[in-house]
Amino acid sequence: MPDRKLLRYAILLGAQTACAAIMLVNIHAGFRILIENLGTPNASAPSSVLHLLIAAAISQACYWYRLRTVPVPSSVRNIALGHLLAFASRLGFIFGGALFSVYFLRHAPALALGPLDIAWRGTLLIAVLFALYCYTLELERLGAALQAPPTT
């Protein structure tokens, strides 16, 4: 039974990791477009926005399901890996937040955003940042569990 819980945890963490990677890749692609065309408003590709929304939704579903039903593994100890996961969680949120802020604000030179456009962009910004935040919390929890002293 413990092996089954560990497998479920690994699958859920893997799915969240894949979703975070998809979000960061799409954000990075938007960032590249911005850098290559400075000062020129560029429309977001509908597929990019769809990928971001789907990845954020799947990531959230995995996170909340794991939080409610699957405990963080506490049988494995590895201080070095725990430190690396804690570091990766903080670094991932910093990069995600910075890149997504640029992605969100890339139409600023036009200053022609209507209220509806600002509303959906703001909602997308909050949804993706919250999904990345939850993912980084998951990595921090796992990192803390790997670093915890053994209980005897």
Residue-by-residue DSSP string for 90-119 = HHHHHHHHHHHHHHHTTTTTT----HHHHH
pLDDT band of residue 44 (cuts 50, 70, 90) is: low
Task: Compute the average pLDDT of residues 72-98.
Answer: 82
Domain locations in the chain as residue ranges: 2-147
Which run of H or of E encompasses 56?
helix 46-69
The pLDDT score that the predictor gives to residue 41 is: 59
Range with lowest mean pLDDT among 37-51, 63-77, 131-145: 37-51
Band (pLDDT 50/70/90 cuts) for residue 16 is very high
pLDDT of residue 39: 62
Per-residue pLDDT reduced to its tens digit, 95-145: 777 766 666 665 554 556 677 777 777 788 888 889 989 999 999 999 998
- Give 67 or 120, the one with higher predicted confidence: 67
CA atoms within 13 A on the CB side of 104: 19
d(C-alpha 2, C-alpha 44), whole Å = 45
User: Does residue 3 or residue 9 have the better pLDDT?
Assistant: 9
| Predicted pLDDT at 113 | 61
* Residue 58, pLDDT score: 96
Q: Considering the entire predicted model, what is its pTM?
A: 0.80
Proportion of the chain above pLDDT 70, given as a percent: 78
3-class SS shares of the chain: helix, strand, coil, % to 5: 80, 0, 20
Query: Which range is most confident: 36-40, 63-67, 87-91?
Result: 63-67
